[in-house]
Amino acid sequence: MILTVTLNTALDITYRVGALRPHTSHRVSDMAERPGGKGVNVARVLAALGHEATVTGFVGGVTGRAVRERLADSPGVRDALLPVTGPTRRTIAVVDELTGDTTQLNEPGPQIAPAEWGAFLDHYEELLGGASAVALCGSLPPGVPVGAYAGLIKTARAAGVPVLLDTSGEPLRRGVAARPDLLKPNADELAELTGSHDPLRATQDARRRGARTVVASLGAQGLLAHTQEGRWRAVPPTREHGNPTGAGDSAVAGLLSALVEQLPWPDRLSRAAALSAATVRAPAAGEFDRATYEKLLGQITVTGGPTAA
């Protein structure tokens, strides 16, 4: 079982409009609601790849009930979310059908009480007992300590469970110092962490700060991996057009599934890059266009190797 942690789960609401124009009203052509949050998206992709996935984090209120109801319709995903008093947040994505651009509005999330955080720590430690890997994903809701991910990383490492971190800002800075097995930032998050906009230099610096392996998402430029074994870059043949929301989460799912399957690094990166690109062609985060994925899987260009470390 692969465990994904989404402390700030969400009800993802996607609106599609013909063209998004400020200061005007819009007629929505299509609307969808799905369980969301980065780790939930990761779990749904893992399940689609044939892996058993368990999601945990906080859930509460009317929106929380909607998340759990929709999560029950996701085959292969086990719900281990912990109920809290505050309501689960909503995230609103507005897709401009004319340009393909997406505008995202993210609520902050529920206020987590100290007792609720303490209950989660016990719950998390219990779940680790059956996990082959764990992903710590996304933002922290109000009330959760800013060093939460650092503590969760140490707990996973003590249990002998490989741990991936995918977050940003101060939680990322503190988390990387706890030595996660894999860090998966995007280009902006990596630059914020290291102060460098040169991906090669920044991934090396992130490893010096504590991450054992860094795989950076670089948008249309693919993925850059700096590992203990070497350095690789994986680039899709073309840029896919569509909704990029969740592309990074699909890359995480590709990396985690390949880690559990003990694939070599070029194959791990090919899978992650193909999934990320195929998600751009899907209607929402947590999904990927399987035909695009299968087509791209054999077309990803992977360069580098062990001698490049």
- Asked if 249 is an active-site residue, the reply is yes
One DSSP character per residue, the chain reads -EEEEETT-EEEEEEEES---TTS---EEEEEEEEESHHHHHHHHHHHTT--EEEEEEE-HHHHHHHHHHHTTSTTEEE-PEE-SSPPEEEEEEEETTT--EEEEE---PPPPHHHHHHHHHHHHHHHTT-SEEEEESPPPTTS-TTHHHHHHHHHHHTT--EEEE--HHHHHHHHTT--SEE--BHHHHHHHHS---HHHHHHHHHHTT-S-EEEE-GGG-EEEE-SS-EEEEE-SS---S--TTHHHHHHHHHHHHHHTT--HHHHHHHHHHHHHHHHTSSSTT---HHHHHHHHTT-EEEEEGGG-
Annotated active-site residue in 12, 166, 181, 249: 249
| Residue for token pair 């929505």 | 28
CA dist 218 → 24, 215, 281 (Å)? 34, 10, 18
How far is Cα 178 from Cα 181, in angstroms, rounded to an integer? 10
What are the residue numbers of the active site? Answer: 249
